[in-house]
Structure 1
Amino acid sequence: MLKNVAVPLLHGVHPFELGVVCEVFGLDRGDEGLPVYDFAVVSAEGPTLTTHVPGFTVSTPYGLDRLDEADLVVVPAGSAYAVRDYPPDLLAALRRTVDRGARVLSVCSGAFVLGAAGLLDGRPCAVHWHHAELLARQYPRAVVEPDVLYVDADPVITSAGTAAGIDACLHIVRKEHGPEVANAIARRMVVPPHRDGGQAQYIERPLPRAECDTVGEVLVWMERNLDEEVTVEQLAARAHMSPRTFARRFQQETGTTPYRWILRQRVLLAQELLEASDETMDAIAGRTGFGNAAALRHQFVRSLGTTPQAYRRTFRGPQAA
């Protein structure tokens, strides 16, 4: 059971990514019946560390020995992490963490620290898309997945940029304590408890929203009526366009076709219902517009690489039949 969390810091650490970890694991929410972690921010380079924000420093009395008792060690992002050297003591401590069966998590460019420690060798991993090519080139034995929010290659978990660190942290909470605890923490943070994904190791990014209002009202209607069968002609009529113009505008503004957009939203709704309800597969298929359990299963496997039943067991435990 996850009880002890340590966060080693280097000069140039990004306060936001550090704050994400502190928010999920460092706050005492015991009065709400939520887990309380033995949490410590640890220095890898002296008692006072600079951040990438001028004039913003971080001080801590803890040294790297604190990592040896942690169940989870989190390495947040930092400036120039892709091109700098790292303290050998930190890299050795990260290797010991994995060797004794504890977990390590990187947020964004923190993956370069794990790469320097040799922990990405032969493992799938995630990093901010801007760094993906460089990470793959710098650590050729790493299996870089550039299009995911995070990768769970337990005991090494890596996340993409900024907000993806929230996704990865909540994923760990969900694995350790179940969806109710993860959902409660997410609610306090005012973030989605599970933005997108089925298999924890390969979570596709959500489809981009439209950047202008040309098809915005139609998107809202589609989201509210996922159980309805609609055609491009019907959607175009709602947008007061010809079908050809609507399809072109939709592709330009969302990056995908109406069919693929609505299919992805239906799968996302199915994921939410599988996590949060005891509804039957046929009932979920009806609410999400798939019609029947067989069609739901087909599209779920095609989109996420796992079955609805397996997904429900993963996120609600073995008791979810």
Structure 2
Amino acid sequence: MHRIGFLMSDGFQIMALAPQSVFEYANMTAGEAFYTLENFSIDGGEVRSSLNVAVSTRPLRGKVDVDTWFVAGVNDPLSSPAPEEILAFLRKGGQRARRIAGICTGAFVLAEAGLLAQRRATTHWYFGREMQKRFPDIRVEEDRIYIVDGPIWTSAGMTAGLDLALAMVEKDLGPEIARSVAHKLVMHHRRAGGQSQHSEMLDLAPKSDRIQNALNYARQNLSRALTVEELADSVHLSPRQFSRVFTLETGQSPAKAIEGLRLEAARLMIEQSRHPLEVIAKETGFRDRRHMREAFVRGFGVPPQAVRREARVDVE
């Protein structure tokens, strides 16, 4: 029996409880109650979320025997620091657990407790730079879905907590059960921890359907060269008009935007497949492996091999 405790205080973000469904379905898939789950707070009783939803909790008193702690985040960790009682518990009793996970801004609670010192960690991208500024002894990697550093696990935004929980199930019960749980929860797959929090398509955010359609066309044809003329023709604009409108709406030139889409597609293939880098380069429209490497170093600061190594470490 593996006991999981969810630690929260008033104002917690309700999505922090979503990983409980992963463990519930892991029990169903395994055919036994491998996990038991309980909610905890300092004094016990009802704790209210940021939406004012009341959740019943046990108090952090006496002997609390938990194998894995999940620390809930809040909407704004900068204006709502964790209660000192929770920090004191994590510094002492919490460290008796096998694992401690900070969900989204729950990573700030772990940081305030000193548990992330000299470790790699992530949090919601909106607060990543502030975490690095406030806690310079942490190696904050703000563009990650989740990070595992020894017994400490941290995740990005709230939905990334599902990926983190699924990774725990895979580690505890194996990949077959994890895949079955993902299928039952209608999760497309478990995103690798090294996967980017950002979507190039979302970042571009074009204002018109024409430019959105051009981007969709580009994404569906990344293996080809994709000239401005071809993209313009796909949405019935002249190349000059297309380039002007595209840059006005996205803030990027068509060439730069297409390279971003190629990088995103290549990174996903590297993280989620075992295809050779030469094949991935060809499928995503780079001239060759060397060209893809140059783009990766320019865009991500690391070569493709480093992305693949990190993705493999995340699932081990």
**For this structure pair, what is the TM-score category when the shorter chain's length is used for normalisation?**
0.7 to 0.9
Aligned match of 2:257:
261
Aligned match of 1:9:
8
Q: Indicate which of 220, 227, 239 corresponds to 1:224.
A: 220
Aligned match of 2:66:
69
Answer yes or no: is the 8 Å Cα contact 1:103–1:155 preserved in 2: yes
Cα gap change, 1:96 to 1:300, in 2 (>3 Å): farther
CA apart distance, 1:133: 5.8
Query: What is the one-letter code of the residue matched to 2:39?
Result: V
Answer yes or no: is the 8 Å Cα contact 2:200–2:264 preserved in 1: no
Q: Indicate which of 186, 194, 207 corresponds to 2:200.
A: 207
CA apart distance, 1:250: 2.9
- Give the stretch that moved more between structures: 227-236 or 306-315: 306-315
Give me the whole-angstrom Cα distance separating, in 1, the residues matched to 2:81 and 2:247. Answer: 44
2:49 matched to 1:51? Answer: yes
Query: What is the one-letter code of the residue matched to 1:207?
Result: E
Give me the whole-angstrom Cα distance separating, in 2, the residues matched to 1:98 and 1:207. Answer: 38
Give me the whole-angstrom Cα distance separating, in 1, the residues matched to 2:279 and 2:81. Answer: 55
Number of residue pairs matched by the alignment:
312
Query: What is the one-letter code of the residue matched to 1:7?
Result: F
Cα gap change, 1:313 to 1:90, in 2 (>3 Å): same
CA apart distance, 1:271: 4.1
Q: Give the SS at the match of 1:60.
A: strand
Give me the whole-angstrom Cα distance separating, in 2, the residues matched to 1:63 and 1:103. Answer: 17
Query: What is the one-letter code of the residue matched to 1:126?
Result: T
- Give the stretch that moved more between structures: 293-302 or 233-242: 293-302
* CA offsets 1:186-240 (integer angstroms, 9 cap, x no match): 4433344356x7x73x845222433541312112211111111111232122223
Cα gap change, 1:275 to 1:134, in 2 (>3 Å): closer
Cα gap change, 1:267 to 1:238, in 2 (>3 Å): same
TM-score, scaled to structure 2: 0.75
Q: Give the SS at the match of 2:105.
A: helix
Q: Give the SS at the match of 1:226.
A: coil
Give me the whole-angstrom Cα distance separating, in 2, the residues matched to 1:134 and 1:313. Answer: 28
Aligned match of 2:161:
165
TM-score, scaled to structure 1: 0.74
List alignment gaps of at least 5 residues for structure 2.
none
CA apart distance, 1:264: 3.4
The percent identity for this pair of structures is 32
Give me the whole-angstrom Cα distance separating, in 1, the residues matched to 2:287 and 2:36. Answer: 48
- Give the stretch that moved more between structures: 27-36 or 84-93: 27-36
Query: What is the one-letter code of the residue matched to 2:57?
Result: T
Give me the whole-angstrom Cα distance separating, in 2, the residues matched to 1:276 and 1:84. Answer: 37
Query: What is the one-letter code of the residue matched to 1:77?
Result: G
Cα gap change, 1:24 to 1:247, in 2 (>3 Å): farther
Give me the whole-angstrom Cα distance separating, in 2, the residues matched to 1:156 and 1:252. Answer: 44
Q: Indicate which of 21, 24, 35 corresponds to 1:23.
A: 21
Answer yes or no: is the 8 Å Cα contact 1:150–1:203 preserved in 2: no
Give me the whole-angstrom Cα distance separating, in 2, the residues matched to 1:256 and 1:25. Answer: 43
Aligned match of 2:37:
39
Answer yes or no: is the 8 Å Cα contact 1:17–1:162 preserved in 2: yes
Give me the whole-angstrom Cα distance separating, in 1, the residues matched to 2:299 and 2:47. Answer: 43
* CA offsets 1:64-97 (integer angstroms, 9 cap, x no match): 6676531x32112235654456455532442347
- Give the stretch that moved more between structures: 282-291 or 147-156: 147-156
Q: Give the SS at the match of 1:114.
A: helix
Cα gap change, 1:277 to 1:161, in 2 (>3 Å): closer
Q: Give the SS at the match of 1:11.
A: coil
List alignment gaps of at least 5 residues for structure 1.
none
Aligned match of 1:285:
281
Give me the whole-angstrom Cα distance separating, in 2, the residues matched to 1:112 and 1:226. Answer: 39
- Give the stretch that moved more between structures: 138-147 or 262-271: 138-147
Q: Give the RMSD, CA atoms, in angstroms.
A: 4.0
Answer yes or no: is the 8 Å Cα contact 2:104–2:123 preserved in 1: yes
Answer yes or no: is the 8 Å Cα contact 1:229–1:289 preserved in 2: yes
CA apart distance, 1:285: 2.9
Cα gap change, 1:173 to 1:11, in 2 (>3 Å): same
Aligned match of 2:115:
119
